[in-house]
Structure 1
Amino acid sequence: MATMQEVAIRAGVSIATVSFVVNGTKNVSPGTREKVTTAMADLGFRNNVVARALASRRTRILALLFPALEHRLGSTALQFVSSAAARASELGYHLVLWPAGTTADDLTELLSGGLADGVLVMEVKMTDPRIEKLVEMDVPFLSIGRTSDPSALPFVDMDFETTVENGLDYLQGLGHRRIGLVIEDLEGTSMDGYGPHIRVERSFRSGMMRRKLTPVVVACGPSARGGREAARMLLEQDPKLTAVMIMKDDSTFGLVSGLTSAGLSVPDDVSILAVASSNESGAATEPVLSTMNAPGHELGGLAVEALVARLDTGSTELPHVLLPCVLNVADSTVVARER
């Protein structure tokens, strides 16, 4: 296997510069970094993570906690993961997906063994024992999501409150006044208390009430079957509903199907707006859905940058970053008409 000395000769730089690039311990100009990484690729140089860990007493590994058994890794979550992994690599770290559950006990092996320098927490609940455990053990971490009181915790998150307000403004601007919300039914599951669902429902109810409109909210099961059930429940509560906001990508097809089976057309009779979604998910349904696109790519990178800053500089700053979803208008939303 190639050595750092050989990489340095090939790139025309010092061994120290190669070390800076490999370990991410010092900023290197983009041009120099490209020379070094090209030489590494040409020579087949591979980072020896174990050797680096023994030398520095750090693993340069970031653990990303995702409760895979409790919550599906959907398109939005994949945006976070892929962006975080790419940014970690750029900063000289390795991101490891740790499919831990939602209890503090699941962290014991990871934390006690010193397998990771820092931790990113996803799928955060309003009361999250994983975060409580990390605070107790004084482990460097950052959450992608918020607990009920995140004021003393480092986090990045979607601004669900602003997102819902913007979505309601958009639909109301099209003349919609009878608007429903579909979220996933997590009651009685290990994901009961999931922060995004609670924040979206609260924001929707308060936003509708502030507009002097009646909120219609249903929680449904998974997949297209759940979406069809959601359509039935929505129309039971308000047969003259003209718009629906849904935060459940795997059920949007079923929602459209259920409305169609009830003799309604999307979007002529009922407009649909998908929240915390993506253009790709919207395009999987006919008609193509208007979406409030999740800023997963941006937040994944920002989360890693903030955590690495704490690890590399000892910064005690508590980042509080909120980014709203961005509206993308497609075929599923039109001007309201009374039925």
Structure 2
Amino acid sequence: MVTMRDVAQRAGVSIATVSFLLNDTKPVTAATRARIEQAMLELGYRRNVVARALASKRTRIIAMAYPALEHKFGMSTAEFFTSAAEAARGQDYHLVLWPVGNDGVELRELLGQGLVDGVVLMEVQLDDPRIDVLRQAATPFALIGRTTNLDGLAHVDIDFDTTVENAVKHLYDLGHRELALISGDLNDPRFHEYGPWVRTEQAYRRVVASYGLPEVVVPCSDTTQAGKAAAERVLADHPETTAILVLNEYAALGVVSGLRRAGHDIPSDYSVLALLMVPETAAMTDPELTMMRTPGPELGQLGTEALLLQLDGNAPPPPQLVPAKLLPGATVAGPRARRPKAGAGRRGERKARS
């Protein structure tokens, strides 16, 4: 069995120096660290994580709390996880995923076991009960997302205002004047205070009003089938629409399918722009979706770094908002004049939610 003494002899340092490194109790120089780690690799030495945690009072493990029962995993979500894990690994931490509910009950139970040094909170609600749980447990944390009251909260998030402004401007500059947003369903109890959906819809209403365009908002849950149904509603209730913005990535796939199933060409008849998506998902449709590319890699890294700074006794960085960026595909073009169907027209109040 390989011991610390063996590692110390191979690296040419004292046993105490090896202990300092393994237990993170005192700093060692980069050159000494490299010699010790090389010796451990050559000898096949395995760190005792439990002993290290007891000695340093830190586990070197952080958790990403994700409400998996309320929010589906998607390719966009995976980017947050992987970039957060890379940022943690770069600072000699391990990242674990905690699929806990939004109510904070499971989170409280897990925090009580002392398994992690800190938490990165995802899928943040405007009034998120998990924050009180973290504060009561005195556990350092950072948010990828925003609550309504942000006093004293380290956070990063998507810049929804800029994202929506750039998306609408792109369509407007191409000549579109009849837009529809297929948004999230805020009547769904899982999402009625879900920050991204609320902020996106608020931004859309503000931006189209600034352009003097009518407001058309169609609620839609986070499934492909719901996207198909939402597309049917736009066709039936707002046939004058020429461009559709879609918030949820699963719904966007359904919108394209629904329009094509109804016999419409994309983008000749309707342009479709996904507001938050990653290239892998966009490539699933034919034609490939034009999208606002979700800044998952940036936010996963920034949110994790904000937590790690606190764990090292430093002040967290200032809040950062990162907009999604336009990534051209093949589902957006200038509007083509369409002959209205007999009897077709606007149905219902344009200013109200559809």
Deviations 1:84-105 (A, max 9, x none): 1121122111212111111132
CA distance in 2, matches of 1:24, 1:84: 25
Q: Distance in 2 between matches of 1:132 and 1:200?
A: 25
Per the alignment, residue 208 of structure 2 pairs with 208
Verify: 1:275 aligned to 2:275, yes or no. Answer: yes
Give the 5 Å matches for 1:88-237: 88-237=88-237
Deviation at 1:123, TM superposition (A): 0.6
**CA distance in structure 2 between the aligned counterparts of 1:87 and 1:60, rounded to whole angstroms:** 13
Cα deviation, residue 33, structure 1 = 6.6
After superposing the two structures, state which structure 1 stretch, 13-22 or 181-190, moved more.
13-22
Change (3 A) 1:24 1:240: farther
Residues 278-298 of structure 1 deviation map (CA, whole Å, 9 limit, x = unaligned): 111111111011111111111
Distance 1:66 1:32 in 2: 38
* Contact persistence 2:282–2:289 (CA under 8 A): yes
Would you say the 8 A contact 2:288–2:329 is kept in 1?
yes
What are structure 1's unaligned runs of at least 5 residues? none
Change (3 A) 1:239 1:8: farther
- 1:324 equivalenced with 2:323 (yes/no): yes
1:167 counterpart SS class: helix
Partner SS for 2:81: helix
Moved more, 187-196 or 116-125: 187-196
**Alignment CA distance shift 1:263-1:153 (3 Å):** same
Contact kept in structure 1, 2:141 and 2:154, CA below 8 Å: yes
Instruction: Write the letter of the residue equivalent to 2:231.
Output: A
The answer to whether the Cα contact below 8 Å between 2:121 and 2:141 also exists between their aligned partners in 1 is: yes
TM-score (norm 1): 0.90
For 2:49, the equivalent position in structure 1 comes to 49
Range 19-28 or range 139-148, more displaced: 19-28
Question: d(CA) in 1 for partners of 2:235 and 2:170?
Answer: 22
Superimposed CA distance per residue, residues 18-53 of structure 1 (whole angstroms, 9 cap, x where no aligned partner): 954884975865x88776656544443333221111
Quick check: 1:22–1:47 contact (8 Å CA) kept in 2?
Answer: no
CA distance in structure 2 between the aligned counterparts of 1:6 and 1:290, rounded to whole angstroms: 58
Structure 2 unaligned blocks of 5 or more? 339-354
Q: Distance in 1 between the 2:23 and 2:237 partners?
A: 60
Report the Cα distance in structure 1 between the residues aligned to 2:195 and 2:130, rounded to whole angstroms: 14
Q: Is the 8 A contact 2:274 2:289 kept in 1?
A: yes
CA drift at 1:315: 2.3
The 1-side partners of 2:142 and 2:283 are apart by 32
Q: More displaced, 113-122 or 184-193?
A: 184-193
Tell me what 1:67 maps to. Answer: 67
* Secondary structure class of the residue paired with 1:131: helix
Supply the distance in 2 between the matched residues of 1:170 and 1:21 (Cα, whole angstroms): 54
Aligned to 2:343: none
CA apart distance, 1:108: 2.0
Query: Please, what is the CA RMSD of the aligned residues?
Result: 2.5
Work out the CA distance in 1 between the residues paired with 2:176 and 2:10: 65
Q: Distance in 2 between matches of 1:36 and 1:177?
A: 65
The amino acid of 2:324's aligned partner reads: C
> Any conservation in 2 of the 1:24–1:91 contact (CA below 8 Å)?
no
Q: Which amino acid aligns with 1:152?
A: G
- C-alpha distance in structure 1 between counterparts of 2:34 and 2:108, whole Å: 39
AA aligned to 1:50 is: V
Residues 50-75 of structure 1 deviation map (CA, whole Å, 9 limit, x = unaligned): 11111011112212111111111111
SS in 2 for 1:189: coil
Task: Look up the SS of the partner of 2:62 in the other structure.
Answer: strand
Other structure's SS at 1:212 match:
coil
Q: Which secondary structure does the structure 1 equivalent of 2:120 belong to?
A: strand
Are the equivalent residues in 2 in contact too, given 1:61–1:115 (CA < 8 A)?
yes
**Which residue does 1:293 correspond to in 2?**
293
Report the counterpart of residue 349 of structure 2 in structure 1.
none
Length, aligned pairs only: 337
Supply the distance in 2 between the matched residues of 1:116 and 1:237 (Cα, whole angstroms). 51
C-alpha distance in 1 between matches for 2:224 and 2:282: 14
Q: Partner amino acid for 1:48?
A: N
Question: Structure 1 residues 119, 98: CA separation in 2 closer, same or farther (over 3 Å shift)?
Answer: same
1:6–1:258 Cα change, 3 Å: same
Greater Rg, structure 1 or structure 2? Answer: 2
Aligned to 2:335: 336
Call closer, same or farther: CA 1:254–1:315 in 2, change over 3 Å.
same
Q: Structure 1 212/110 Cα, relative in aligned 2: closer, same or farther at 3 Å? A: same
User: Any conservation in 1 of the 2:112–2:137 contact (CA below 8 Å)?
Assistant: no
Aligned residues of 2:126 and 2:193 also touching (Cα < 8 A): yes
